[in-house]
Structure 1
Amino acid sequence: MSADTRLEKLGVSGLGEVDAPAFSGLAERHRRELHVHCYRMLGSFEDAEDTVQETFLRAWRRRETFEGRSTFRAWLYRIATNACLDLLAKCRPQPATGGEVRWLQPYPDRLLDELPAGNADDPETVAVARETIELAYLVAVQHLAPRPRAVLILRDVLGWPAKDVAELLGDSVNSVNSALQRARAGLREHLPAERQDWTGGETDTRTRELVRRFTDASIAKDVEGLAAMLRDDVRYSMPPTPGLHVGRDAVVNDWMADGFTELGRLRAVPTCVNRQPAVAFYLWSEQAHAYLPLTIDVLRITGGTIAEIVTFHYDQFPRLGLPERLPMDGTE
């Protein structure tokens, strides 16, 4: 049952007569999709959390302004988009530059699974939903100015008509269409050239095998073996640590050679983040007598090779539902 149908069941034409528990029930049905929308806009899981809370607070305070001219869901999206624009204007007046996004955070697949199914029978719809949550897309979007970014997400991801986007932003339809063209051009500058090069597209078997080899080589600290799995133009970043390494030599020399082989004993847990394969690594601690969280590598795989590695710190493990520690494996 939609939120608008539930409003009818409550016997009210708007939200002015709805009490706080009923309003919360209506709004909470849309929390996950609003959170993902804000995440696309902001690139940060934590900022998206705060912005959804701000969205619900604004919606409650302005509930009497809902007149039913749009759906309740669309009304919440309007409030959420403006809350994102306000946060960007206050905290990030300039978009990302240089191909890296230091505030980027991962999004666990287990939470993405909570999204409404939508039109699951339409391959294009499924592909768009998957592609626009991948890290390559998130990074590219963060390089756009906030308003063109909003236009792009509302038009190309959510499929809103231009006139609805224009009403939300207080612009003309012509201005929205112009902003969309600029945003698409800007997006292409920061995405791999071919669509299949940034969406993975590998069979599950090939992907699993490459991830297994990557995991084994990482645990063995086999730099040559790892290098052989990388594309010539592989990219590596470790937000929030500054620095983007591009090219196999740069990644091997600047990342793998920088203390990598000096690490102690490692264990790994395979997982999925942003609809991409990932590997969480744990480092043995004599003091804790257990393996403790170290880093998580999120992989973009193309043509049987690794095209990009984004490494996140151990502070992301709890959000991703990963174990706090791993026991000794019998070799210690």
Structure 2
Amino acid sequence: MIPTIRDVAREANVSIATVSRVLNGLTGYSDKTKQKVIKTIEDMGYHPNAIARYLNNRRTQTIGVMFPAVTNEFSSAVLQGIEEYALERGYSVLVCNTAVDGNRTMKYLQVLRERQIDGIIFASEVLKHEYKQMLDTMQVPIVLVSSKNEDPKVPFVKVDDRQASYDAVRYLIDKGHKDIAMIAGTPEDPIAGIPRLQGYKDALYDNGIPFRSSRVAYGDFHYDSGQAAMETLLEQERGVTAVFAASDEMAVGAMNAAMQLGIRVPEDLSVIGYDNIRLSRMIYPALTTVGQPLLQLGRDAVDKVITMIETGKIVPSLIVPHEIVERQTVKDLRT
């Protein structure tokens, strides 16, 4: 038989109210009583009923997380950080795969509304007007991760994509490269596509290197598109010594396309990626890349949304640091 809060109170010889206060982190009992209640809960295997908990404090202790693709390594790493920290704070996570084109977003927002979730983490997708209208009716805190929004009531957690891309290209320039191509993300994507391309252009300009549109090919941040983009670059451009890819998956696809044509990395062509997913260190040669603290992005997003849930106050946005992770795919032309 599944134990109830009444059973726990009887076994611990305290009131039901005391058990409830312990479960909800309230005061009004001694440490000895607290330890006795906790031990009784553990011994009996008691789990608070979610509906009863909601009726008690108007919270379900549940956070909705919306990702356009939960199967890629970037999303998996961020989601791991979200789940780990949410569980540490006593919250459950309901993950919604909205699909790359976001065509399931409105449906999932309705699902989260019906589930009475306490807050939402919205990842790697533009917060469109229709989404915002639905979220306004839900009246729950929203935090963006790896996305950005101009509404001060909707804080975000992300790296500075333009600066990170700038630093990647500057790294190649510092290694003696001047003929640098880019495999950029989706051209119209304001989250990662546009700012990463701008960082590439700015780094070239600041170092006296002319920008050539023929040295830019576009992908969708995934492996196959990186391979196809690399093939396009090799067809239309000669003399390129280095390629900056706006994601690690595209960088690995580019490396494979080059190697199939007998182009060696890094001896003939240097490659640098973006994200520092596990794949970047598992391949050979190991990929030099822009490192994002993916687990920390998830943890910081959860911290912000829980703070907003529990205090009712808006928290500031956060730009997290990035780094250049040096491995084996960039040749130093100065030596």
TM-score interval (norm. to shorter): under 0.3
Normalising by structure 1, we get a TM-score of 0.21
Normalising by structure 2, we get a TM-score of 0.21
Structure number having the greater helix percentage: 1
